[in-house]
Structures are given as structure tokens and as C-alpha cells.
Chains A and B, each alone.
Chain A
Amino acid sequence: MVQFHPLGIRGSGMILTEALLGLGGYLANSSGERFALKHAPAVGERAPRDIVARAAEEEIVSGRAEFVALDLRHLDGDDLKRRLSLTSHVIKTQAGVDPAKETVPVRPVAHRTMGGLLVGPDGATGVAGLFATGGCAATGVHGANGLGGNWLLEALVFGERAGLAAAQKEPPSAKGIEAQLEDERRRIAGLGDRPAGAERAGAIRSELGRLMRRHVGPLRDASGLKEAGNKISELSARYRQVGITNKGQRYNYELAAFLELESLLTVGGVIVAAAGFRDESRGAHYRQDRPTRDDARWLAHTVASFRPEGPAMTSKPVVITKWKPEGRRY
């Protein structure tokens, strides 16, 4: 799952700290209404990240706006500068506004992943000898809604476990690894022989970004996800027409972009398939056509496996010990 952060700043999309909301900042729509209060009457903008991000996205979609307004004008500007000097600097340089006089244009942006390579409690993946931890791994500690700071804890706790486990494990045969490396070297060297195709990696990557933003953001539904899936197939077909003009071995960023794009298309396809597979709403994943949480069917991890024709989806039950899921009321 992908977590969305409500405070992506105009321009770069860089996120501003939610401490701005904690200190009393407001979010307002184009008519000046504090829309978060509609979704969380008791806490407003201090509601969990997913609720605030979703509320902001709804205002943007329904109001045909590009941004919502982060209003800090009623706060003590000097105090803000003292406590959050870096953030104040970012607001000035990135959005180009003076938060004492104007509102700051923000919108929800993709933030962190909750999930990744399927690992056991010691970080072991399905590939012998490969361990993963942190943001690229699915340890399961974040559920569907990671809390700020927990990614660091995850990296510390599971990083140690994975490191110790890897150190104790008999290393896989160097010969096997060398052979795989040689295969990969040959594959990458072969890419240079591709004919200069009609497509460019940069254009496909930009389109993929816009597509994910439109259909796989904080608000999703079956038809949008279906369209996204079809478009990703189209983009993948176009990807095969991308040529590489740079034949150099040194600082070949064109080759790097080409290889990265393949991963982006693969992971993008997994995110779309998983969002379509999970026909309920939970945490950061929100389906407008299935707006409620379905604990009877979906107290489960989504598991995607690689297949040449596209990701195969299954689920794995969540083991619940102490903390039972409850209703969310704010």
C-alpha cells in the first residue's frame, strides 16, 4: 500500500511537516471552509494522515482546484520560525509565499510504502541469501496506515534482526552468484545493441506518473483502476520500443533511466492490481465504490507474485495477538 501525505507543497511537491497542523494550522478549500471538520469533527486537521489526505483530495477533485490552502496566518510567526526553521525556509523558497500574510498551496502526494518484498521476521526473502528490511520490505508492522516515525523504528528493529540472521546463514555459493551476475552483465551489455527506437524513457515515465496520480491516488474506484491497468500494459508495450542512444560505459544515465523505468512499470502494475484486488477501504487504501472496511474478508495481507503476463494476487491472513481492530471515530 502507498501512504499519501496531505502537505505536498506547490511546485516541487516536497512535503511539509504535519507539525504545522499539530501547532494549529488550518486547511481550507477554495471557499475558505475548514473541510477537515466535516470528516473529523472532534480533531479536524489533527486527524490521522489518511483522513486528512483523503479530505483534501476530495476538495481538489470536487472543487476542480489544484491545491487546498494551508492557513498559518493566525499562528505566531516568530514561534513558527523558531520551532520549524527549516519548514519556514521551505515555504518561502519552494512555494514562494510568506505564511504570515498568505496561505500556502498544498495537495496530497504519495509518501511512503507500507509493504514491499515479502519477508519473514528475520528479513529473509523468497530468494535464498537475500535479506530485506526497512521501506523495501513487508514486515507487516505498519498495517494499512503507518505512523510517522515508525519506519525508522522498523529499520532499527528489523535491520538488526536481518543483519544478525544474514551473518549466521551459510552464504550461497559464490559460483551461483557469479553466474547470475554474468547473465545480468550480458543482458545489460546487450541493451546497448537495441535499435534507436521511436520511444523515449522520459516520456513514458512522465505518463506513468500522471496516470498513477489520476487513478491510483488517495481516491480509487474499480473503473479507474481498470483503466490504469490497461494503460500500464500499453506503456509496457511502448517501453519495448525504447532505444538506447548512449553506448558509453561511464555515467550512462540513459541506460540507468531505462532500467529504472522497467521497475517502475512493474511496481506500478503491482500497486494497481493490489488496489483492484482489495475491494474494500482500509487505512490509506480508499475505494470510492467500496467505502467501508470489511474485516470479515480482508483482515489479510495482499500478496502479489511475479508472472510474465502480470502480477498474480493472493492474500495471507494477518495474525492478530493483542490489539484487535476497532472502529475509527475522530
Chain B
Amino acid sequence: MQATFKVHRYDPEAGGKPTSQPYTLDLPEDATVLDGLFKIREELDGTLAFRASCNRGFCGECTLRINRGGRLACMTRVATAKNKDGEITVEPTRFVRVLKDLVYDVDRQLWQKIKAVEPWLQPNGGVQPEHEHIIPDEQLRAVRNAMKCYYCGLCDEGCSVIPFDNTFLGPTALTKAYRFIADPRDHAQAHRLRLVGEPKGMWDCVHCYEADEHCPRGIDPTARIIDIREKAVAMGVKSGATNPQVARHYDSFAASVKKTGWLDEGRLALETWGMRRIFGLLPVAWRAFRRGKLPIPYRHPKRPGAERIRRIFEKAERRPS
């Protein structure tokens, strides 16, 4: 089988501009993109740099953009990835600092964000337990699933927020935070939730579910982010687990739907931000007004069926959480 690899080349030592270099090669039918890259380096061009380790989808080292999508090169078959002209585009992931060709700065992109969530167990104030801490299997199942993460960074590559704000912690680091927040041996839950509740943390996730689509380990990072958000709200403002604005946002949202059957956006903004800070939103209101999205006078009548919605709320509130 013949395929043409169009490979991103960049050598800061040589000072040149990034280019895309085509290599045409013969490969076995079942070859992976990583097999192709090795063949290029060993037979065609010894100057090509890329990272790889286990060669079998177990380490997350060869995360690249293949045909403009995040993939592990070792788990992507050439036969299925090449287009009808037999071409495959291979690039580093987006928004990274490229060190050479397909090698990029993982430290800045990933490890610094993971370090920010304090990825170590913080047990009970250093008190030596009297006996072994045995945890029932069910309690650890969720944690174990998150522990399957090998930091390939594919979920960050697929993330919808990072393209707009690369300082967003991202699904990899937030999944790591979840791993400790959900660990029954850890005693820093409130502190951790406060940490990831800061701006650029879990509340910036737009739950587009791209992370879950990209994860090769079946961890579902989006679901993990939603888990820690729910924990933060459940632990509440008093414990400092969540920031007051988020809590007010949640409360106002629920209260307005409960009362009128639909979301009162004016009230939501007012109750979330408070009287003083709402003036900061005036430009948004002005733009909305100019596009006819802000009715004046502002009214928020009850929806038909609002009574039924209220009863649903009351039923849910009676149920022990």
C-alpha cells in the first residue's frame, strides 16, 4: 500500500518557517501512522523528530493531529486514515509550543496544568491511622476509572474552550482533580473544589462532550467535570467549596424556572452578579438591545404549564439527595 505523509516540519535551530513536507512510502496493509513515521525516519529522512514509546496505545506519547483531528499515531491505521489521493496530514496538536517537527512542549501544555490541581493524596492531616484503610471496591470504582488516564492530552486537543483560552485548566487536569476529590482517602475535598472553582477552572467547561469523544481510555472527562461541579454545589458556599457567584447563578436559575416555568435572564444576571457588578454587563445589554434581543419594557410572564413545572420542582426537593 502506498501513502503520502504530509508531515509538519519545523526546526528552530535552523531558524526556518514551519513547512509541510511530503514523504511517499510503501507500507504493509495493516501499518499504523506511527509505523509510517518510523519508516520515514529510518529509511528516508533521519532528521524527522517525533515522540513515541509503547507503540500500542498504552502510553499516550504519540498524540498528534492526524488529518486535522487529535489521534494516537500508533492506534491509527494508514489504510483508513488516508484520503482518496492516498494522503495523510500529520501535525503537532494545536496551541502548543513546537520544539522540533512533531515534538512539542508537553510541560507547558499539560504538566503545568496538572500540577496546578495538586495531584497528590492529602490524607487526614498526617495523623497515622491505627490500621490499614481498606476501601470497598464500589467506592473505588469511579476513582479507578479516572486513574486509567495516561495523560495523552487528546481530550485537551479536542476541547472547545482551549482554542479560545489556553489558560483553561482543561479536561485532563480537571479529570486529575476529580481523581483525588472522589478518593475516599483524601481529606482536602473543599480545598480542591475551591482550587478548580477558580476562574479558568471547572466552571469554564462548556460541556460540549468533545473530551469524551477523544478519550482513548473511556474515562469520559466531561462527565467527571460535571461530577465535581455537582460536588461543589452540594458542599456549598459555606464550606467555600464553590464560589458564591456560581451558587447564586444556580439558585437564581432554578428559582426562576420554578416560579415562571422558564429562565428569567434579566433576573439571572442581576442575582448572579449583584447590583454593583451588573453595570459591567451594560455593554452586553446594549448590544442585545440593538439587535432586538432585549425587550423594553422587560417583562417575564409565566409560561403555560408553569404550575406543572413547579410541582416537578417540589417533588424533586422532597426527595432526599
Report the interface size for chain A: residues with CB under 8 A from the other chain.
20
Contact of A94 among B41, B43, B45, B56 (CB under 8 A): B56
Docked-complex contact A201 and B42, CB < 8 angstroms: yes
Q: Which residue of chain B is the closest to A257 with respect to CB atoms?
A: B42
- Are A254 and B57 also in contact (CB < 8 A) when A200-B42, A201-B42, A249-B13 are? no
How many Å lie between the Cα of A12 and that of B50 in the bound state?
20
The residues of B that contact A248 with a CB separation of less than 8 Å are: 11, 13-14, 47, 100
Q: Which residue of chain A is the closest to B216 with respect to CB atoms?
A: A93
Q: Which residue of chain A is the closest to B55 with respect to CB atoms?
A: A12
The residues of B that contact A257 with a CB separation of less than 8 Å are: 42
Contact of B56 among A14, A203, A253, A254 (CB under 8 A): A14
Q: Smallest distance from the beta carbon of A89 to chain B beta carbons, Å? A: 9
Q: Which residue of chain A is the closest to B218 with respect to CB atoms?
A: A89
Q: Smallest distance from the beta carbon of A145 to chain B beta carbons, Å? A: 27
What are 6 A-B interface contacts by the 8 Å CB criterion?
A14-B58, A200-B43, A203-B43, A252-B49, A253-B46, A253-B49
Q: Smallest distance from the beta carbon of A12 to chain B beta carbons, Å? A: 4
Contact of A250 among B48, B55, B100 (CB under 8 A): B100
Contact of A254 among B13, B46, B75, B100 (CB under 8 A): B46
The residues of A that contact B56 with a CB separation of less than 8 Å are: 12, 14, 94
The residues of A that contact B50 with a CB separation of less than 8 Å are: 253
Q: Smallest distance from the beta carbon of B81 to chain A beta carbons, Å? A: 16
Q: Which residue of chain A is the closest to B74 with respect to CB atoms?
A: A12
The residues of A that contact B57 with a CB separation of less than 8 Å are: 93
How many Å lie between the Cα of A40 and that of B50 in the bound state?
47
- Are A250 and B46 also in contact (CB < 8 A) when A93-B57, A94-B56 are? no
Is the CB of A244 closer than 8 A to any CB of chain B?
A: yes
How many Å lie between the Cα of A250 and that of B105 in the bound state?
13
The residues of A that contact B46 with a CB separation of less than 8 Å are: 244-246, 253-254
Q: Could you tell me the dominant secondary structure of chain A's interface residues? A: loop
How many Å lie between the Cα of A253 and that of B48 in the bound state?
8
Is the CB of A306 closer than 8 A to any CB of chain B?
A: no
Is the CB of B232 closer than 8 A to any CB of chain A?
A: no
The residues of A that contact B42 with a CB separation of less than 8 Å are: 200-203, 257
A202, A248, A253: most-surrounded residue (chain B CB, <10 A): A253
Docked-complex contact A253 and B99, CB < 8 angstroms: no
Is the CB of B193 closer than 8 A to any CB of chain A?
A: no
The residues of A that contact B13 with a CB separation of less than 8 Å are: 248-250
Q: Which residue of chain B is the closest to A248 with respect to CB atoms?
A: B13
Is the CB of A323 closer than 8 A to any CB of chain B?
A: no
Could you give, for residues 226-262 of chain A, a 1 whenever the CB lies within 8 Å of some chain B CB and a 0 otherwise? 0000000000000000001110111111100100000
Is the CB of B103 closer than 8 A to any CB of chain A?
A: yes
Q: Smallest distance from the beta carbon of A118 to chain B beta carbons, Å? A: 29
9 additional A-B pairs beyond A251-B49, A251-B100, A251-B103, beta carbons within 8 Å, are A11-B30, A12-B56, A201-B42, A202-B38, A245-B45, A245-B46, A245-B47, A246-B46, A250-B100
How many Å lie between the Cα of A203 and that of B41 in the bound state?
12
Q: Which residue of chain B is the closest to A254 with respect to CB atoms?
A: B46
How many Å lie between the Cα of A246 and that of B41 in the bound state?
10
Docked-complex contact B11 and A254, CB < 8 angstroms: no
How many Å lie between the Cα of A201 and that of B38 in the bound state?
12
